[in-house]
Every structure is written in C-alpha cells, then in structure tokens.
Amino acid sequence: MKKIAFIGDSFSAYKHTGQYKNHWSWKLAQQFPQYEYYNYGAGGVGADYCQWCMLDAKRREVDIVFINRTYLSRTSLLNGDCDFEFNYEPISPLYSVLELDKLQHMWYSASNDFYSTMHDKGGPWSAKDEAHMGIALRCKALSSMYQDHNMKWFDNVKNLYNFKHIIPLELIDDGTNDGSNAFAMMAAAHNVHKRDTNALFHAGLTVSLTDTHWSPYGNDWALENYILSEETVNILDMYV
C-alpha cells in the first residue's frame, strides 16, 4: 500500500481547534482510501520542523508528500536527550497523526514574539536555560538570511528529496505568493477581504471571529478548488 504524508503548520494539522474530521487532509483520505496516511501538521512550526518531518517520512517509506509553506520567521530547536523519534497516534486503521515530543524541542514564532516553554511540564531544561534558548531562537528567526534560506528551501523542495511525488501547497497568505494561495483565493471567491475576520467568519469560511482556521465548509472549498488540482488528482489516481 502506498503512503501519503501531510507536512506543514496548523493549516495542515488534523489536531487543531475546529479541525479533526473536518480537516481537508481527513476528507482527502476518505476520497482516496487506497493509501495509508501520516499527518505531521503542527501549529506554529517553521521550515526546520518541516525538514525533520521530511526525514521521518522518508524513514517510513512515504511515497507522496503534501507540504504547505509556513511563515519564514518561524523556527525550532531540538533540545532533548533522547532518540529522534515522532510520537505515533492512529486515528483510524489508515490515518495517523505524528508529533515530535513537545518536551524535546522548542519553537518560536516571531509574529507574537512567543517561544514554547516546557520546564514546568517535565522538560529537560531549566527556566533560565529556556530563556537563553529563546533568545537564540529569536535572533535566528529575525535573521534575513535564515528567512531567505527558508524561502529558497521551499521553492526547491521538489528537487531536494526523492519521494515519488512532492506536492507543494500555498495554503496561507504570508505575503510571499502574490495572493496565489488558498486562503486569499477563497476570500476572493466569496467577495470578502482576506484580512476581514468578521466577513470571513460570516461567509462561513473560518472557525470563529478570533480563529481564522478553516471551518468545515472552508476545508471543503480549499480541498475541491485548490488542493485537488487536476495534476494532483492525476497523481493520486496513479495508484488505485
């Protein structure tokens, strides 16, 4: 049986507020039941976390990878004293969620100047050590060289790995893709501004007024109008 992985930030994540079996990756799996699915999506992660996922997916002999571009300034740091392994949670016989142990890595988001802390939850480092690592993550995230690397890595991701197929997705409106992304396209198709959270919610596209992740309808729209392009459907239909 061929295997498919979903890699990216919260817009690729099954386990996120309002998602689960409403999520486009789950709905795709129901349309193409001939595959085994691994969902690596996680909120707030950057390109480096996605690279760790690509390594794990390769070790699991995944055939097809869907990967969405995330914000260029997000970053992570491995800090555990353990083997490099992802936790595995089966959702159904053919669909599983994989997560890197939150106690064994830190992540930082420049958009709200936040880094994850785990010293109070059994993590391996003290609050003082985590503060020092937070400073290093902040400096890394704000580096224009780091951000340029992440841009170029994603732009070349199809050439860097030898999976049978890599399907890059532009799901978020991060300012790097001229509005040619699922989020902006969905807003335009419903005659609302992509930054108007009130209009997005009342158009039925998002989870709530304060959460711009997609509603069940928004996931359906993104899947049918963006993710399942003719080229992608042809790839998925190869392995019936």
Averaged over 206-215, what is the pLDDT?
96
* CA–CA gap between residue 240 and residue 226 (Å, rounded): 22
* CA–CA gap between residue 136 and residue 52 (Å, rounded): 19
Q: Is the pLDDT of residue 14 over 90?
A: yes
Question: How confident is the model at residue 102, as a pLDDT?
Answer: 84
Q: Is the pLDDT of residue 178 over 90?
A: no
Q: Is the pLDDT of residue 221 over 80?
A: yes
> For residue 36, which phi and psi values (nearest 5 degrees)?
-100, 140
Q: Is the pLDDT of residue 116 over 90?
A: no
Of residues 126 and 217, the one with the higher pLDDT is 217
- Contact call for residues 214 and 182 (beta carbons, < 8 A): no
Domain ranges within the chain, ordered by starting residue: 3-172
Q: Is the pLDDT of residue 176 over 80?
A: no
- List pLDDT tens digits, range 48-88: 999 999 999 999 999 999 999 999 999 999 987 888 999 99
CB half-sphere exposure, 116, CA atoms < 13 A = 20
Q: Is the pLDDT of residue 6 over 80?
A: yes
The sheet with strand 114-115 has its strands ordered as 75-78, 105-109, 114-115
Averaged over 153-167, what is the pLDDT?
97
- Rounded to two decimals, what is the model's pTM? 0.95
Q: Is the pLDDT of residue 179 over 80?
A: no
Parallel, antiparallel, or unpaired for β 36-39 and 3-7? parallel
pLDDT-based confidence at residue 240 (cuts at 50, 70, 90): confident
